[in-house]
Amino acid sequence: MTLAPVRADEGLRAPGGDGGLRRTFREKYLLRLLVRRELRARYKGSLLGLGWSYVRPAVHFAVYFYVIGVFLGMDDRVEDFPVYLFAGMVLINLFTETLHSATRSVTGNAPLVRKVFLPRELFPTASVLVSLVHFLPGMMILLGGAVASGWRPSPVELGAAVYGFAIIIVLGFGLGLLCAAVNVFFRDLEQVVDISMIVITWSVPMIYPWTHVRTHAPGWVLDLYLANPLVSAVSLFQRAFWLPGTRGDFAFPPHLYAHAGISLAVSVLVFIAGHAAFSRMQARFAQEM
């Protein structure tokens, strides 16, 4: 009796050949598990739990407001300085936490990477989602302060907010993918990212207005400063939540929306490059850890 040849099952695919991010967002159950696991690990044994997401930005804001705003007099120079400060702070905190946690996301899950096959992009994606969870309490505080200052939503303000938010998320996710991959091979990158958090805080018009750079820095420094995508994102968020509660005579950086468009395009390119680098290097993650 002649045996019929076994036909290959067209539904079967080789492991890893299904596309990283596409499969990541199809694995919603695994993604939820990783987000819950990271949140539980972070707040294990904590009395307040997620309540620290409210305490942390409030304390952070209070320190900057009293040191920069009251003691150094910025509150007298910038109208409604608390909202101006917090509008930038809540967005920069989202970016720095995204970059910080995504950088450690793969090395922090080394046992899973070594023993279980799953899309490696799940780890930095889960870190981004955890950062968004922590972003929401700060955003609620900002909305409360903005409304108390006279802010009322309009399509222009909401569009500026979405624009700035998109720049932060796309750029942070792209850099996070790149740093997560490189950090597997060079662990010193974690220290570099930690140090960069200090620089990032002072490199945007959050604690001071951008006009201080225009007044005190050479022209080429100002051009370099305005080319920073984070400057455009923070300015858009301040345009959305701070400006409507003021007299409205503050001059934002020239061609703000044009610069923001370039910033978003650069962020997309960084994301594409970060994802390409991650996809290329992930085959060696398990053996490196």
Q: Which stretch of 91-100, 177-186, 242-251 has the lowest confidence by average pLDDT?
A: 242-251
What CA–CA distance (Å, rounded) separates 181 from 172? Answer: 14
Question: What confidence category does residue 74 fall into, taking pLDDT thresholds of 50, 70 and 90?
Answer: confident
Name the burial class of residue 131, with classes exposed (0-12), middle (13-18) and buried (19+) by CB atoms within 10 angstroms of its CB.
Answer: buried
The pTM for the full model equals: 0.87
* pLDDT per position as a tens digit, 186-220: 888 988 998 998 899 889 999 999 999 999 889 89
**What is the DSSP secondary-structure string of 38-93?**
HHHHHTTT-SSGGGHHHHHHHHHHHHHIIIIIIIS-HHHHSTTHHHHHHHHHHHHH
Report which listed range, 15-19, 43-47, 198-202, is most confident.
198-202
**Does the pLDDT of residue 252 top 70, yes or no?**
yes
Record the tokens describing residue 43, joined without a space. 């707040």
Domain extents for the chain? 49-284
What CA–CA distance (Å, rounded) separates 256 from 283? Answer: 41
Which residues does 204 contact at the CB level (< 8 Å), separation at least 6?
Answer: 88, 92, 228, 230, 231, 234
Question: What confidence category does residue 177 fall into, taking pLDDT thresholds of 50, 70 and 90?
Answer: very high
**8 A C-beta contact, residue 121 and residue 21:** yes
Which residues does 237 contact at the CB level (< 8 Å), separation at least 6?
Answer: 87, 88, 90, 91, 160, 161, 164, 165
Record the tokens describing residue 92, joined without a space. 């920069």
Residue 14: predicted pLDDT: 46
Higher per-residue confidence, 182 vs 13: 182
* pLDDT per position as a tens digit, 108-165: 887 877 777 778 888 999 999 999 988 988 898 888 888 888 888 888 889 999 999 9
Residue 18: predicted pLDDT: 46
Name the burial class of residue 149, with classes exposed (0-12), middle (13-18) and buried (19+) by CB atoms within 10 angstroms of its CB.
Answer: middle
**Does the pLDDT of residue 7 top 60, yes or no?**
no
